[in-house]
Amino acid sequence: MSETTRHSYDVVVIGAGGAGLRAAIEARQQGKRTAVISKSLFGKAHTVMAEGGAAAALGNVNSSDHWKVHFRDTIRGGKFMNNPRMAELHAKEAPERILELEYWGALFDRTPQGRISQRNFGGHEYPRLAHVGDRTGLEMIRTLQQRVVQLQQADAAEFGHPEAMLKVFAETTVTELLLDGEPGGEDTRIAGAFGYVRETGDYLVFEAPAVVLATGGIGRSFKVTSNSWEYTGDGHALALRAGATLLNMEFVQFHPTGMVWPPSVKGILVTESVRGDGGVLRNSEGRRFMFDYVPDVFRDHYAESEEEADGWYADPANHRRPPELLPRDEVARAINNEVKQGRGSPHGGVFLDVSTRLPAEEIMRRLPSMHHQFKELADVDITAGPMEVGPTCHYVMGGVEVDPDTGASLVPGLFAAGEVAGGMHGSNRLGGNSLSDLLVFGRRCGLGAASYLDGLGEERPDVDPDVIERLGAEAAAPFEHEAGENPYQLQQEIQQTMNDLVGIIRRGPEMEQALESLDKLRERVAGVRAEGDTVYNPGWHLTLDLRNMLLVSEAVARAALERQESRGGHTRDDHPAMSAEWRRSNLVLSLREDRIRLRRQPLDTLRPDLMELFDREELGKYLTEEELPPADRSDG
Ligand code: FAD
């Protein structure tokens, strides 16, 4: 029998990746009693797995870099679907956040002059990713955790206990947000969160007027993914059930390079740094095929011959970029097509080779994790031969609709930052822009939550005891379902459905079929069975994750069926072109009477001074005639 313990905080942050930790640090620095909750071990979040680096226009390697160039690259990468205010805040504030991290102890790789080194990445005009070999996320998490400890030490000295103001609840899963009122009600606001401790199965109630969602992505809804077991879309689903809205869930990033062999590691990421550091893609005929896939919108910026592309590494001022460094959506589609046309590698991918481009010791220095990963998992030495790679579900651009400045959702008291929030990356995220996003908007969310609390004064929302009792009973219900199905079987069917019918290339009838299948799965998931008891029982935990996976999968499929164009992380075989008309609409999803509703909402327009960063010809490829600036405007 599970026990229930109650805690009371000012701010509860759900998620201890980069966004959650940065939000919690900020809330604590603003004097708020803060709890950070993480489903897995403290420190084991996707952020820690980030390899390539964090994008910030520091201008250390090329002094021409500037926040406006970063902004322009981000908007281009997102195919003009980004929330412009978020992209602006991100590009402007990322350098400050990286320097702050260094001030807190992060040890980035250095240039020969001793400045923070920056590397090339797809879609970034200049070398922009601050990095630590190919283990940047590890250093970021280490530094943020160190900052948490530093604050706790200060609290121990001031309040007599290190956890007086900032406490971490590791291996604790939140299953529901608590509300003061009904979901969708006019005066309804956040009152806290409900969850369980993975080890004991005991329930925890967090009373808190402000909750920050920082739960990361949804990748586990797909069969082939770089995401680990926790990423079942919990934050997205919690937000929907609490009455908040999700934005553009159709935009799912399939990273072009995941491992394809052996089967047990299929989907594990091969960092884009391999291409950033000179790796080339070839098909089974030995052809460097990316030259055949440069779309018109990018043609002016990418090399047309191997000679020009190769010259770029040493002399970027006089050469255009290699097409291997196109944004991820373009490269993923190209690989997909090569395999489909029968020009794939033996295990259904293509070849990625850095061994012919860099000396072995340089590969070992720049890409130590990749060398280790391939040697250990596939018995391939990447200093001596090519890797086999193919697309893998990696990141969701869609997420909770938030106010760009504060991270506030539509439900008072509920905030979101990091991968769980939508808007920043438009239809496709550039590599390296997530780590910087986490820092910029994690901090802003912490500030937003603190100022929301200041506005409340002494008044606190109520937590209804009946709701707590109901949530406990609902969590334990799978133990009662004697004739229910195995949760692992149901998970596998959701993943297969999303992979086959709502994957990298989509078609209307297939998505309709996916929605029908998900509807049937929903009935089966309602009766899913958990074996054993509540003490450290991953099978039971999965029964609780499944309804989030289902809800999020339905959100992706519905939005993908609705958007009748191809853009970024949403490719429709039956609507292959990008449509300027469709670009003007965000798709907003909400939950009413347990069903997902969808509506179109106009996308914010670019301010004239930001529009001036693009020439009219380029704008003409994305915007409607009506949105274009006057023809006689001089291009800035
Ligand atoms: P995460 O770091 O994913 O953290 C989410 C947290 O939420 C975790 O602590 C998790 O336990 C917790 N959580 C989830 N659900 C619950 C729940 N129900 N209750 C309680 N806690 C919960 N981006 C880059 O910019 N550069 C890179 O080089 C890069 N490389 C990557 C490599 C890999 C292998 C992967 C998978 C991603 C990479 N990314 C990279 C993407 C980037 O790492 C993620 O988008 C980013 O780290 C997400 O950060 P976050 O703080 O939003 O969430």
Output the six-digit token pair for 212.
Answer: 């920050």
- Asked if residue 576 has a cis previous peptide bond (ω within 30° of 0), the answer is no
pLDDT band per the 50, 70, 90 thresholds, residue 447:
very high
Q: Catalytic residue among 131, 255, 320, 547, which?
A: 255
Q: pLDDT tens across 454-510, in order?
A: 999 888 999 999 999 999 999 999 999 999 999 999 999 999 999 999 999 999 999
Give every CB contact of residue 112 below 8 A, 6+ residues apart in sequence.
none
- Please give the number of the atom of ligand 1 that sits closest to the Cα of 172: 20
pLDDT at 184: 86
What the block records as the tokens of 383 is 């200093």
Our CA angle for 68, 74, 77, nearest 5°, is: 140
122 CB less than 6 Å from ligand 1?
A: no
User: Ligand 1 within 6 A of 177 CB?
Assistant: no
Average pLDDT over residues 364-391: 95
The encoded tokens of residue 7 equal 């805690």
| Cβ(14) – ligand 1 distance below 6 Å | yes
**Residue 487: cis peptide before it, omega within 30 degrees of 0:** no
User: Quick one: pLDDT at residue 122?
Assistant: 87
Query: What mean pLDDT is predicted for residues 437-451?
Result: 98
Give the model's pLDDT for residue 636. 40
Q: Determine if ligand 1 sits within 6 Å of the CB of residue 50.
A: yes
What is the position in ligand 1's atom list of the atom closest to the CA of 269? 34
Amino acid at 419: E
> Mean pLDDT across the chain, nearest whole number?
95
> What does the block give as tokens for 17?
């990746």
How far is CA 168 from each of CA 31, 171, 364, rounded to the nearest angstrom?
16, 10, 36
State in Å, rounded, how far the first CA of the chain is from the last one: 67
Task: Establish whether 275 is a catalytic residue.
Answer: yes
Q: Which of 26, 42, 46, 70 to mutate to test the pocket of ligand 1 (most atoms within 8 A of CB)?
A: 46
Residue located nearest, by CA, to atom 12 of ligand 1: 15
| CB of 173 closer than 6 angstroms to any ligand 1 atom | yes
User: Which atom of ligand 1 has the smallest separation from the CA of 268?
Assistant: 34
Q: Tell me: pLDDT of 30 over 90.
A: yes
- Per-residue pLDDT band at 1 (split at 50, 70, 90): low
Who's near 102: CB < 8 A, 6+ residues apart? 108, 116
Mean pLDDT along residues 521-540: 96
- Whether 255 is a known active-site residue: answer yes
- Contact criterion met (CB below 8 Å) for 131 and 109: yes
CA of 36 to the centre of ligand 1 (A): 15
Tokens 């991953």, located at residue: 538
Residue 192, φ and ψ in degrees, nearest 5: 150, -155
CA 137 – ligand 1 centroid, Å:
10
- The Cα 273–Cα 267 span in angstroms is 17
Q: 49 CA to middle of ligand 1, Å?
A: 8
pLDDT in tens, 31-71: 999 999 999 999 999 999 998 899 999 999 999 999 999 99
pLDDT at 634 over 50: no
Give the mutation target among 13, 41, 47, 199 for probing the ligand 1 site: most ligand atoms within 8 A of CB: 47
CA–CA gap between residue 422 and residue 418 (Å, rounded): 8
Whether ligand 1 lies within 6 angstroms of the CB of 219 is answered as: no
Write out the DSSP string of 135-194: -HHHHHHHHHHHHHHHHHHHHHHHHSSTTSSEEEE-SEEEEEEEEES-TT-TT-EEEEEE
553: closest CA among 249, 277, 148?
Answer: 249
The identity of residue 238, as a single letter, is: L
pLDDT in tens, 230-243: 999 999 999 999 99
The reply to whether ligand 1 has any atom less than 6 angstroms from the CB of 38 is yes
Separation of alpha carbons 249 and 557, rounded Å: 8
Q: How many angstroms separate the CA atoms of 552 and 555, rounded? A: 5
The reply to whether ligand 1 has any atom less than 6 angstroms from the CB of 432 is yes
Atom of ligand 1 nearest to the CA of 42: 9
Q: What is the pLDDT of residue 501?
A: 96
Phi-psi region of 458 (alpha: psi -120 to 50; beta: other; left: phi over 0): alpha
Residue 195 main-chain phi, psi, to 5 deg = -160, -170
Query: How long, in residues, is the chain?
Result: 636
* Residue matched to tokens 């086959």: 500
SS3 289: helix
Q: What is the pLDDT of residue 632?
A: 63
User: In a mutational test of the pocket of ligand 1, which residue from 42, 134, 144, 434 has the highest number of ligand atoms less than 8 Å from its CB?
Assistant: 434
3-state secondary structure 1-43: CCCEEEEECCEEEECCCHHHHHHHHHHHHCCCCEEEECCCCCC
Choosing from 33, 128, 275, 529, which is the catalytic residue? 275
What does the pLDDT read at residue 635? Answer: 42
In degrees, rounded to 5, the angle at the alpha carbon of residue 141 between the alpha carbons of residues 140 and 145 is: 120
Ligand 1 pocket, residue 18 CB under 6 Å: yes
Which pLDDT tens digit goes with each residue over 141-166?
999 999 999 999 999 999 999 999 99
Give pTM, 2 decimals. Answer: 0.94
The burial class, CB within 10 Å (0-12 / 13-18 / 19+), for 380 is middle
Distance CA 132, CA 140 (A): 9
In the chain, what percentage of residues exceed pLDDT 90? Answer: 93
Q: What is the pLDDT of residues 394-432, one digit of tens each?
A: 999 999 999 999 999 999 999 999 999 999 999 999 999
Instruction: Give the distance (Å) from ligand 1 centre to CA of residue 160.
Output: 33
DSSP state, residue 469: H
